[in-house]
Amino acid sequence: MKPTGIVEGIYWIGVNDFETTLFEALWPLPKGVSYNAYMLIDEKIVLVDTVKGPYFPAYLDKIKSLLPAGKKVDYLIVNHMEPDHSGSIKVLREAFPDMKIVGNQKTAGMLEAFYGLKDGVVSIKDGEILDIGAKKLEFHMTPMVHWPETMMTFEKTTNTLFAGDAFGGFGALNGGIFDDEVDVDYYEDEVLRYFSNIVGRYSSMVQKAFDKLKGVDIKIICATHGPIWRSNPAHIIELYDRWSKQETEEGVVLVYGSMYGNTQKMMEAVATGLVQGGVEKIRVHNISTSHLSFIIRDIWRFRGLVMGSCTYNMELFPPMKQLVSAIENRKIVDRNIGVFGSYTWSGGALKELQEFASKSKCAQVLPVIEAKSSPTDEDIEKCIELGLNMAKAVKSPTC
């Protein structure tokens, strides 16, 4: 994709990545991902963020195509040092040796640790303004959205916020780059999957960033991934605000682990109870085949969570253990939780699930069901009852 003008003097010079299968070597990218970077042309020439290393040639081509004759790049603003954005800094400096690299004190430490760069690094402070001609860049420190050095840069004359990872999501840009050019619904699930898996753990810091930016009149949001929000920035701000407050919707995620179909029968009975109880939004995940990131995305969204697991080597089924750990890592603490399990020659799974459920701020949804080998008719009736009780819990939240 060619460089695209955003407003007078500000251009998108990002790239799409359709090759990487796992972002951060962890998260599947079925729709690809974009690494957004920006170029400001004023008295000074300024770049905001770079792209992942292998995409440097395409990025450099875009810079050169926009660079006015006789000009060089004066500044690179580094809002975030994760290598999907900083990976081209070293070679960019080689292409423009006089270019100053602008970040904060923590950025400076990371520039040296990652790339051995010390010279020509300018450390700015919160609220400082860089005058680049007609345009003025104001820096806002927003630590832990997503790393300690993360900051945002606000161009005051066009009200454009270069937001780093905040407001970004998975999904390559398919032709259009603006929210009014793309199908926003297509991106929204991937924005939530990005948020819940990568930024969600730091939700309290997202809220602090919101507090800091309260007086800032933002008209355009340029994130480092996904669409640029120029027509309706309030929409993505509202979503991020809601998600970072862990506000949930009426609906239930049903995750189960089943080796031979017996625990699956229990899951289906719970789902029957949910439907009888009037729950419309039910998301079923087989823990052995759904990638963790999609399960976390749905758990982040919905109020109810039912987990059912077979026992494996006297413990919780291994992928279910991983999910429990991922939920705890992301500090998801206020869901209505119900659990069930199965065993044949030793228990184990249910005990671990109950320990997990007991940590929720919400009262556990009952009954707890444990089947020996294959669920009896009575077990199935109890699973339906669990579904019905969960329906009541998510429809009348008390926590």
Residues that bind ligand FEO (CB under 6 A): 80, 82, 84-85, 146, 165, 224-225
How far is it, in rounded angstroms, from Cα 315 to Cα 309? 10
Question: Which CB sits closer to ligand FEO, 192 or 388?
Answer: 192
CB of 13 to ligand FEO, least distance (A): 16
- For residue 224, count other CB atoms closer than 10 A to its CB: 26
CB neighbour list of residue 101: distance below 8 Å, 6 or more residues apart: 75, 76, 78, 89, 93, 111, 117, 120, 121, 122
Are the C-beta atoms of 286 and 318 separated by less than 8 Å? no
Question: Which CB sits closer to ligand FEO, 82 or 370?
Answer: 82
For tokens 């730091």, what's the residue? 202
- For residue 235, count other CB atoms closer than 10 A to its CB: 14
CB of 17 to ligand FEO, least distance (A): 11
Question: Which CB sits closer to ligand FEO, 45 or 192?
Answer: 192
CB of 245 to ligand FEO, least distance (A): 21
CB of 35 to ligand FEO, least distance (A): 7
Nearest 5°: the CA angle 318, 280, 379 is: 50
Question: Which CB sits closer to ligand FEO, 226 or 348?
Answer: 226
> Which two three-digit tokens encode residue 111?
């520039």
CB of 85 to ligand FEO, least distance (A): 6
Radius of gyration of the chain, Cα coordinates, nearest whole angstrom = 24
Question: Which CB sits closer to ligand FEO, 164 or 277?
Answer: 164
Residue nearest to ligand FEO (CB): 82
How far is it, in rounded angstroms, from Cα 293 to Cα 326? 9
CB of 20 to ligand FEO, least distance (A): 12
Question: Which CB sits closer to ligand FEO, 165 or 370?
Answer: 165
How far is it, in rounded angstroms, from Cα 179 to Cα 219? 13
Question: Which CB sits closer to ligand FEO, 141 or 365?
Answer: 141
User: What are the helix (H) ranges across the chain?
Assistant: 56-66, 83-86, 89-95, 105-115, 184-194, 203-212, 233-244, 262-276, 292-301, 318-329, 349-358, 377-395
Residue 148 phi, psi dihedral angles, 5° rounding:
-60, -25
Question: Which CB sits closer to ligand FEO, 195 or 356?
Answer: 195
CB of 162 to ligand FEO, least distance (A): 13
First to last CA, the chain: 47
CB of 119 to ligand FEO, least distance (A): 25
